[in-house]
Chain A
Amino acid sequence: MSVHEQEVPVEQWREHAQQQAQQGRVQVVFLAGVDVGSGHIQVMTRLCDATGGDAVTVRTTIGATETLDSIVESHPGADWYERETHDLLGVQFRPDRGGVGWRGDSDDPPLLRRTALGARLDHEWPGSQDPGHDGQESPRRRRPRQVPGNREEWSS
């Protein structure tokens, strides 16, 4: 990992952000998260100086029940991103300022692997049909079509 990408433990997240601010990286380019599986979420933020030339990406990985210290104190620009990450991935920040008010068709955070999206459950996958074939052919010849990356694969 290069100098411009750093991985820190959860408990050092806020302290590390404060150090970045002291070194001049006071602006937040973005803050987001990824469900990396096994109930863990990787949160990352890109911090840069006022010119945008000196930047660093900081990552940490938290468990499903862990809370993450907010970095708004040292980086006020992270406020919206933290609220968004709270809504989309269910990450709990401390102190908790809620989300951006996203309302989906499920109570589950939509970007978690385990969340079933209503738009996918309501419709049959268009690719499941086989034009010109009536389904009476030998099963050896016609393999069943499945959605690429089905939910069972996502959650593994």
Chain B
Amino acid sequence: MSYRASIGLRAELCTSCMICVRQCPAWCIDLSAQRVHDADAGPRGRSTLQLESFTIDYGLCMDCGICVDVCPTDALVFSEIPNAADQRPNLVLGIDGLAQLVGPSDS
């Protein structure tokens, strides 16, 4: 099946590159990350971004799929699991909520 029920996040693949946030026409994605320096990685060490929070506001999302298309690591995936909420604040999903939307075939 290929219908678009919602969008899930595999947080372990996200590099916090911000491409999805900047491409989203509905401004519904927000993320924050912290820079972590690993001094033991190579002669000068290596800095990486560690994802702290990632939210999609499904009250704004229009399922256009641009974020899924532009994600360079395929961390964002279309999900067949429908997403619904009884109150407006519950439409804002964080890392844990978005992880639950990743179907078994996508993980």
The reply to whether A131 and B22 contact each other, CB–CB distance below 8 Å, is no
| Among B21, B30, B34, residue most surrounded by chain A Cβ atoms (within 10 Å) | B21
> Closest residue to B19 on the A side, CB-wise?
A127
Chain B window 4-32, contacts with chain A (Cβ cutoff 8 Å), 1 for yes, 0 for no: 00000000000010100111100101111
List chain B positions with a Cβ less than 8 A from chain A.
Answer: 16, 18, 21-24, 27, 29-35, 47, 49
The reply to whether B47 and A131 contact each other, CB–CB distance below 8 Å, is no
The reply to whether B34 and A131 contact each other, CB–CB distance below 8 Å, is yes
Give Cα A25–Cα B23 distance, bound, in whole angstroms. Answer: 41
In whole Å, how far is A148's beta carbon from the nearest beta carbon of chain B?
Answer: 7
> Closest residue to A132 on the B side, CB-wise?
B35
Give 11 pairs: A residue, B residue, CB < 8 Å, sorted on A: A119-B27, A123-B27, A126-B27, A126-B31, A127-B18, A127-B22, A129-B32, A131-B16, A132-B33, A132-B35, A145-B22
Which residues in window 90-136 of A have CB below 8 A to B? 119-120, 123, 125-127, 129-133
Select A131's contact among B27, B29, B31, beta carbons within 8 Å.
Answer: B31
| Among A120, A127, A129, residue most surrounded by chain B Cβ atoms (within 10 Å) | A127
The reply to whether A132 and B16 contact each other, CB–CB distance below 8 Å, is yes
> Closest residue to B26 on the A side, CB-wise?
A119
The reply to whether B34 and A132 contact each other, CB–CB distance below 8 Å, is yes
| Among B16, B18, B24, B47, residue most surrounded by chain A Cβ atoms (within 10 Å) | B18
Top-4 shortest CB links A-B: A132-B35, A127-B22, A131-B33, A126-B30
Known: A130-B18, A131-B16, A148-B23. 12 other contacts (CB 8 A): A120-B27, A125-B27, A126-B24, A126-B27, A129-B18, A129-B32, A131-B33, A131-B34, A131-B35, A132-B33, A133-B35, A145-B22
In whole Å, how far is B4's beta carbon from the nearest beta carbon of chain A?
Answer: 22
The reply to whether A127 and B21 contact each other, CB–CB distance below 8 Å, is yes
> Closest residue to B57 on the A side, CB-wise?
A126
Give Cα A132–Cα B31 distance, bound, in whole angstroms. Answer: 11
Please, which residues of chain A bring their CB within 8 A of the CB of B30?
Answer: 126
